[in-house]
Structure 1
Amino acid sequence: MTGFIKSNRRNVLKSAAALGTAAFLPSMAKAQSSIGDILQSPQRGNWDDQFDSAGSSNRAAVDSRLPILSPPTVSYVEAAIDNYRGIVSNGGWPLVNATQRLKVGVRDNSVRQLRQRLIISGDMARNSGESTTFDSFLDAGLKRFQARHGMVADGVMGNYTLAALNIDARTRLGQLETNLVRLRSMSGFLGDRFVMVNIPGTELEAVRNGRVERRHKTIVGRVDRETPVLSSKIHEVILNPYWTAPKSIIRKDIIPLMRKDPTYLTRNKIRLFDGSGQEVAPETVNWSTDEAVALRFRQDPGKINAMSSTKINFHNPHAVYMHDTPQQSLFGKFLRFESSGCVRIQDIRELSTWLLSSDSGYTRGQIEQIIKSGESTPIQMTTPVPVYFVYISAWSTGDRVVHFRDDIYNRDGVGELETAATAL
């Protein structure tokens, strides 16, 4: 993702340095971001400080089976906005001026600032004290904060966590207000079963009868090839799919690769076909020009196929779809903005089973057998399932847990709301 705006990247680093983080910036710079103020907000509200941080040491403490797209979520966000208005009117929260990575056992004056910060945002109880030693209570509170922000909840305050902590309360209030509008527009009946991909959250929810039955990590489009917001219906699951390269990828990726390595297509089992369906030998194409764009590039099914085992189709004007990937290691990354616009799904065979078992009666075992055969097998959905790609960067699903994500595509209203994810 080399299309990152360099001036913003410099501002990110300057901001972190101003907070005293220079001691550990170099080792973690690729995974960090800083977000400036985005919106002015209404000035009054009441802050209820009765938060319960017990059991907050892992991701489960902030997860919910309530779908992000639901009427109750709208109500919870409205309540969160009232609470954040109260935080703002009471002066917000303190900056954490850390000069080192904070974790259990560290003693530093900035630990007291961190403790106060987490108490105000509800990640720690009000009676958590003012100690300058990073103890187990603070560890639990920081893990809760990290989980609410989609981070690995490891209880270690590195640059990325520090940057998120030091986003001021007005900014967070602005995010909630902006996303409330989006949530309200999607709060009607979306289907007895539906699939939702939250682009900035890089996560998929499979919902049945108002309850999230499955969640999957996703990989979405990088900043120069964004995943679009859309509504459609899943009508087909293809096991062992052929992959046909879009013209944009042919032009931007494959042609440059062929100029460097003429064996690329053969090694990756990609075959060329002309308009009449006749196969074309790669060595007959002039790769110094763009004439290859007129050809069809089709990759055979198999483990190295760009979609690996599965493709999930739904009609849309953007020619995007959901699919498996041979690059499973990417799902272990925190920042998963890697694709050319389509959405890659972790553990997609479970999602396929969820889609097909109730519709066509396919079991996981049958799906595995078809994949093992290597034969491309399209399966039409008897009852198409609604699918929604949405852009929600702030929400709440109850229990006073408020979630925030980075505005990877800068859609929340102001250019400062960008992240270092764009530098990957």
Structure 2
Amino acid sequence: MTKINSPRRAARLKYGLFALALGSISSFGFGTMATAQSTAFRQAVASTASVNDDVAQFYRENTYSALWTGGDAASNQRRAALLRALEEASAHGLPDQSGTAASLVEQMRNARTARDFGQVEAALSTAFVNYAAMVQTGLLKPSAIDSDMVRERRDHDGAAALAGMRDNQPFAYVRTLVPASPQYRALMREKLRLEQVQAAGGWGPTVSGSKLEPGDTGRNVVALRNRLIALGYMERSATANYDHNIERAVESFQSDHGLEVDGVAGGGTLKEINRPVRDRLKSVIIAMERERWLTPDRGARHVLVNQTDFTAKIIDNGDITFETRSVIGKNQSGRRSPEFSDVMEHMVINPSWYVPRSIITKEYLPKLRNNPNAVGHIQITDNRGRVVNRANTDFSQFTARNFPYAMRQPPSRSNALGLVKFMFPNKYNIYLHDTPQKSLFKREVRAFSHGCIRLAQPFEFAYALLAKQTEDPIDFFHRILKSGKETKVELDQQVPVHIIYRTAYVSNKGRAEFRRDVYGRDAKVWSALERAGVSLSDVQG
């Protein structure tokens, strides 16, 4: 088995020598050639930088002045900071940059002419801009991986990053490029912890059997006990019986993995207990990439919907102040809930359900062709909002393309949206809402909707939002509810909503939690990361 830290120690030693070489780089001519700003130097910078628009822009705006190749202490610090950043790229779940670093050092050592130094100058800037883009906004374009990952990756301003490197203390500035969210830092720590676990041999043998429960005894119970100890859910024990300590450990594991908490190690629980360290490492690395996609400014108060966790939370200044179970879109084409961020502007109490065109044509029109009185709880309306007389309408003449009517379910307790919906207007027609189908919230996997997010406690969610603008949110809400009238309530404080998809995250208690890949999106993300150069090659065993 190769120990995970060995290659990294070697890399640090190697780059330490690189830094020493850079410290005396003026002996190779950096101090004279770069500061001379010869025509040959500027031409070489312009030509080499032309492959990257941001790098080219920076040098045009700075009269092709040297950023890296001066013989002064500041230039030396920038070179050392860049090499350190490249050395540590893999700690962020990014592709190994040791080859890039080695190539740059070799290019610096071999530089002799003004043209050589101009090429080195632009090459260092290009490497820095590429690193900054990866660590700040991610490697991948979400929508290119899955059409339901509609989150827009932030644009990266490479010219501004180079200006930041010029104007600030280099090592400190490089640290500011890394996402500052507590979640990102916690994921980095979990990545390192898992790498150390894997280097030490992992979590040991897997557990056989299809089901283990309190009262059982024997070899499989011993394997379960040992696995739970290795996973950190039990203190060391010699028991061969499925006793209370094992039951409590199983319950804790189930809670941390989004499973039904019953203390019984059934098939689903055993499958998660038996997952290897490599699987968990992949989830953490994917979560770090996903964290880079999110805007740094999430909002002091925001709503966070994690699809794989089937929850919706209100976050205030980093603390969870409200949480409820949710139902997400069914795992079918056209029904999966998308991932994106928007801003909640208002809620509607006693909402009508205006049936989406896709549901009308795919689900309701075929029924109406056979029976004009089908789906009788839904009103059919013309383009002036008048209710259509079903008895006088031949629905068989219509197709999905030419169906001329809209459909609406008036406010009621049986309304598909329940009694309240929460709106953050978006082109995907996704929102949060109540539902009359309360039994679905008892399920372990809650993927049943057409794409919108259903809430188990929508009234309480409304109270929490309204508490910012009225002294008695419960009374305010129920006065409107009792009226039975469809009422739009504007939020005085609009609230950012982030619909995310995380199979790995670190809770506020500091423990890593994992969820199943409900839609198979993380498998796609990992494949894309591998194609981009990310690997677990350091992790063996």
- TM-score band by shorter chain is 0.7 to 0.9
Partner of 2:33: none
Distance 2:205 2:488 in 1: 55
Is the CA contact (8 Å cut-off) linking 1:74 and 1:187 kept in structure 2? no
Q: Does 1:94 align with 2:197?
A: no
Pick aligned residue for 2:495 from 365, 381, 385: 385
Q: CA RMSD in A?
A: 2.4
Identify which range, 247-256 or 217-226, moves more after superposition: 247-256
Residue 186 of structure 1, CA deviation: 3.1
Q: Which amino acid aligns with 1:290?
A: T
Q: Which amino acid aligns with 2:212?
A: L
Is the CA contact (8 Å cut-off) linking 1:233 and 1:384 kept in structure 2? yes
Residue 313 of structure 1, CA deviation: 0.7
Partner of 1:332: 442
Q: Could you say what secondary structure the match of 2:229 adopts?
A: helix
Distance 1:361 1:293 in 2: 47
Pick aligned residue for 2:462 from 352, 357, 376: 352
Change (3 A) 1:399 1:236: closer
Distance 1:118 1:276 in 2: 64
Change (3 A) 1:265 1:72: same
Residue 73 of structure 1, CA deviation: 2.0
Pick aligned residue for 2:421 from 270, 287, 311: 311
Q: Could you say what secondary structure the match of 2:309 adopts?
A: coil
Change (3 A) 1:101 1:227: same
Q: Does 1:271 align with 2:385?
A: no
Aligned residue runs from structure 1 range 140-219, under 5 A: 140-186=248-294, 188-219=296-327
Partner of 2:343: 233
Distance 1:358 1:369 in 2: 18
Change (3 A) 1:316 1:43: farther
Distance 1:44 1:264 in 2: 66
Partner of 1:21: none
Distance 1:247 1:75 in 2: 43
Distance 2:180 2:515 in 1: 19
Residue 262 of structure 1, CA deviation: 3.9
Is the CA contact (8 Å cut-off) linking 1:242 and 1:298 kept in structure 2? yes
Unaligned runs of 5+ in 1: 1-40, 46-68, 418-424
Unaligned runs of 5+ in 2: 7-178, 528-541
More strand as a share of residues: 1
Pick aligned residue for 1:286 from 378, 386, 395: 395
Change (3 A) 1:376 1:398: closer
Change (3 A) 1:285 1:123: farther
The size of the alignment, in residue pairs, is 350
Partner of 1:62: none
Change (3 A) 1:100 1:377: same
So what's the TM-score if we normalise by structure 2? 0.61
Q: Which amino acid aligns with 1:286?
A: F
Pick aligned residue for 2:365 from 255, 258, 265: 255
Q: Could you say what secondary structure the match of 2:422 adopts?
A: strand
Partner of 1:84: 194
Change (3 A) 1:362 1:158: same
Q: Could you say what secondary structure the match of 2:395 adopts?
A: coil
Identify which range, 99-108 or 158-167, moves more after superposition: 99-108
Change (3 A) 1:167 1:294: farther
Q: Could you say what secondary structure the match of 2:368 adopts?
A: helix
Q: Could you say what secondary structure the match of 1:200 adopts?
A: helix
CA deviations over 1:325-376 (Å, ceiling 9, x no partner): 0001111111100001100011101111111221355521221232122111
Q: Which has the higher contact order (CA 8 A, sep 6+)?
A: 1
- Percent identity of equivalent pairs: 29
Distance 1:403 1:213 in 2: 19
Is the CA contact (8 Å cut-off) linking 1:76 and 1:398 kept in structure 2? no
Q: Which amino acid aligns with 2:465?
A: L
Q: Could you say what secondary structure the match of 1:280 adopts?
A: coil
Pick aligned residue for 2:523 from 388, 400, 413: 413
Is the CA contact (8 Å cut-off) linking 1:220 and 1:339 kept in structure 2? yes
Higher gyration radius (CA): 2
Q: Could you say what secondary structure the match of 1:156 adopts?
A: coil
So what's the TM-score if we normalise by structure 1? 0.77
Q: Which amino acid aligns with 1:149?
A: H
Residue 296 of structure 1, CA deviation: 0.9
More helix as a share of residues: 2
